Amino acid sequence: MTISRTIARPLLASMFVMGAVNAFKNSSGHAIKAKPVTDRLVPLLEKVAPQAPIPHDPETLVRINAGAQLLAGLGLATGRAPRLSGAVLAGSLIPTTFAGHRYWEESDPAMKANQRIHFFKNLSMLGGLLLASVDTEGQPGVAWRARRAAADVRREARHLRKTAKLEARLARKSVG
């Protein structure tokens, strides 16, 4: 791993680890802010996964989100499954941002400006997480490997077809 990844991953993950600890400590306060988002999100999740046991309690959902952020944050910081960790953090950041930084609902100009800054800070972190979730550290990714394997199979099939035609032609000559 490069020095930039060694430094950048824990820096990016630090906000999520600290935020998760805070959410665990103050889950009831976070649940109040999260309720407008969970009220809209839970029915959508139930449509997508009708068999999944999805809790309706905002406080439970806040704790689940905090647990996901803590585990994925630690995974990203330590470099263990960094792509998966980045994707999980990106997915958890979206509802967190819409629950915690609803600047469009603020009436006080100072609070509105503060919430707008935090909203766009989270969008910036989302961009970093999206990059982390696709970073292959200079190694070929799964999609590249699959394309390469398909090309190899096509090349081998062409070669076998040519060889089979040549052998058939030789066999016809030797028989006739």
pLDDT digits (tens, 9 = 90+) for 82-111: 999 999 999 999 999 999 899 998 999 999
| Dihedral over Cα of 14, 94, 120, 6: its sign | positive
Q: For 108, which DSSP code?
A: S
Which tokens is 139 given? Answer: 């190694």
Going by C-alpha positions, the residue among 82, 80, 94 that lies closest to residue 125 is 94
- Please report the pLDDT score of residue 4 as a whole number: 85
Q: At residue 135, what are phi and psi to the nearest 5 degrees? A: -75, 115
What mean pLDDT comes out for the span 137-147?
77
Mean local confidence (pLDDT), 140-148: 79
What is the CA 88 to chain-centroid distance, rounded?
A: 4
DSSP code of 105? G
Residue 1 has pLDDT above 80, yes or no: no
pLDDT tens string 7-64: 999 999 999 999 999 999 999 999 999 998 899 889 998 998 889 898 999 999 999 9
φ, ψ (nearest 5 deg) of residue 81 = 50, 55
Residue 175 pLDDT more than 90?
A: no
